[in-house]
Each structure stands twice: as structure tokens, then as C-alpha cells.
Amino acid sequence: MAYKLHQKDKTQRINHMTTLTVNRNSSIDTLRGFACILLVAYHVIGIAPDNGLHVQEGVLKDANALLLYIRMPIFTFLSGIVYAWRPFSSDWKKFVSGKIRRLIIPMLFVGTLFALFKTFTPGTNSTVTDWRFLHLLPVAHYWFIESLFLLFLLLIPLEHFRVLHNKKSFALLFVIAAILYVTNAGTPWLSIAGAIYLFPYFLAGLYCSRFPMHFKNQKALGYLLLTALMLFLVFYGQQYGGQRRSLNALIIGTTFCTALLFTEVESAFLARIGIYSYSIYLFHIFFTAASRIIFEKIGITSIWWLFILGLTFGLIGPIFLEQIASKYNPSRILLLGKRPIKKS
């Protein structure tokens, strides 16, 4: 009887969360929202002391460096999970054209706008060095979209030959991907190196969706692993974390992502952010850079206030932008990669 009541309560809670997130998977959207906050915070603070908030030392700088091990792995891991819901089956032309619309068109259009923004806006931190190679060498963080597109192309033969439908062949592919990852294989051209960096995390997410793991006390195990990893990063991350493409980094990233999935954590606030994760990825940098320039000009100099304001505008700005852009077909396609609205 107690078990039935527990299940009923759990079902009601899940239904409530599902309603809040428009019949989406609220747990995955929660993790997407979490990943968005980490990403926006990263660019607000700055990749290095000579950009962003120009932070030379302190908590923000240290946290930004340590979160290197989990930021992009989470995004990629979730991409693998979501791909598994609607994988490639047979029509490769339809599959590729859909990915071009969803990924490449916004990458080219928004990425070019961003390059222009960085070049001609006073107060920004960098500019394009050679316009001839724009997008052949990826623009800023848009490398992720280009790399993800390459992974989707690779998935076509892998799915066709059913490599990803068998645990043994899946494991062998993951080992190959891991070897390429740790050997720093690849080139920045066309973001091939980025695709190699992302591939193990994408496979890990796909595996967890296609071959779900179930353990006794799985949620508790997830939280225990997360706690252990966070403590490790805080106390030993700088010493033993390794480079971005090291074996230690791969272990930390895949374990952290899997542990997050185990927790099945749900948050209405984070899920609402997660619904707009793609738009936040595309546009947050416009709003974080603009907010920093504007607030510094009106006299706000506190690093913490600039961080909070930049993070807020970097999350809210793209959400409003998507809501407006979704109403018109040209902006739906060019800015968001969405299908056009069919006229009735």
C-alpha cells in the first residue's frame, strides 16, 4: 500500500513537472537549463583574464577553470540522449537537410552576425583575424554546432551498419573515440578537432538512452558520485584534472554526466530555461557582451554585480529573442533553424 501511494505521489509530481514544460522531458530540460547557466557564466567571466570581466584571480576565475570538465560534456551528452529519441533510420537526404536547416543555417547566419558584432562594436574583446576563412575556421563558440553537424553525418553509416545497436560494437567504437580524444587528433579546420572532442560524450549520452542502466538506489548513487567529483575538482582538480583532452578529463566528464542523469533531478525553473537551450547557445554572447559594455559605461564596476547582470541578460535575452523570431518565417529559419510556419 505504501509503495502504491509512493508511486502515485511520484506520478503526480512528474505530471505536474511535465505540464510546466509543455509535455517535454522535464528532467532532461532541467539538465539543459543547468548546462546553459554554466555556459553563460563561462562567457560572462571570460575565457581568459584578457576578456570577459578581465578576472585575474579569485573564486570566479577558479570555478570557471574547473567547470571546464563538465560544461561542454553536459551539452554533448544531452545531445546524444535527445538524438536517441529520433535517430536516423533510412532517409539520409531528409536527415541531412533537416540538420542543415537546424544547425548549419543558424551557425552561418548568427555566427557571421557575431563576427561583425565583435569587429565593429567598441569595447568588445576580439575581432576576426582573417575573413577569408570565416566558418572554415569556426567562429567563437559556434564550433560546437559545426562539430555536432559532423557527428550527425558520421551517425548515418554507423546507424546503417547497426554499429550502435550492439553493446559490444558500441563499446569498441567508444574506445576508438576515446583514443582519438586523448591523442589530440584532428584539426581546427571545419571544427574536426571539436567533433573528435565531443564524440565520446555524445556516445555516452546515446548509450544511456539506448541501453538504459538501472541500479538499486540509483538516485543516491548519482548524488554520491556528483558530490565526490565536485570535492575532487575543488581540492585536486587543478593538480590532477588534466588537460581538456586528457583521459582524466574524459573520465570526469562522462562520470559527471552519467551521475546527473541518475539523479533524475527536476526543477521547474531550470526546465523553463532548458526549453530555450539552443537559442541561449546561439545568442547569449550578444547579450552578455552588450550588458557588460552598457553597465560599465553607466558606472557599475563591481565584478559580482557585472557577473549577475551579465548572467541574467545572457539567459533572458535569447528567450525573448526566440519568442519574437519564432513568429516570422525568415527569422525562424535564419536565426533559429526552425521549420517555417505553414500558411492555412
Q: Are 181 and 197 in contact (CB under 8 A)?
A: yes
What is the Cα–Cα distance from 255 to 251, expressed in whole angstroms?
Answer: 6
pLDDT digits (tens, 9 = 90+) for 72-100: 999 999 999 999 999 999 899 999 999 99
pLDDT digits (tens, 9 = 90+) for 156-185: 999 999 999 999 999 999 999 999 999 999
What is the Cα–Cα distance from 321 to 284, expressed in whole angstroms?
Answer: 10
What is the Cα–Cα distance from 86 to 25, expressed in whole angstroms?
Answer: 14
Residue 17 has pLDDT above 50, yes or no: no
CB within 8 Å of 233: residues ≥ 6 apart: 66, 69, 241, 252
Q: What percent of the chain has pLDDT over 90?
A: 76
What is the Cα–Cα distance from 15 to 23, expressed in whole angstroms?
Answer: 9
What is residue 16's predicted lDDT score, i.e. its pLDDT? 42
What is the Cα–Cα distance from 322 to 25, expressed in whole angstroms?
Answer: 20
pLDDT digits (tens, 9 = 90+) for 56-65: 888 888 888 8
What is the Cα–Cα distance from 300 to 293, expressed in whole angstroms?
Answer: 10
pLDDT digits (tens, 9 = 90+) for 20-78: 444 689 999 999 999 999 999 999 998 777 777 888 888 888 888 899 999 999 999 99
| Dihedral in degrees, nearest 10, Cα atoms 203, 10, 17, 333 | 30
Mean pLDDT of 210-239: 93
| Dihedral in degrees, nearest 10, Cα atoms 258, 264, 267, 271 | 60
What's the CA angle centered on 72, arms 46 and 76, to 5 degrees? 155
2 pLDDT band (50/70/90 cuts)?
A: very low
Domain segments of the chain: what residues? Answer: 22-336
pLDDT digits (tens, 9 = 90+) for 97-131: 999 999 999 999 999 999 998 888 766 656 666 78
What's the CA angle centered on 75, arms 70 and 77, to 5 degrees? 85
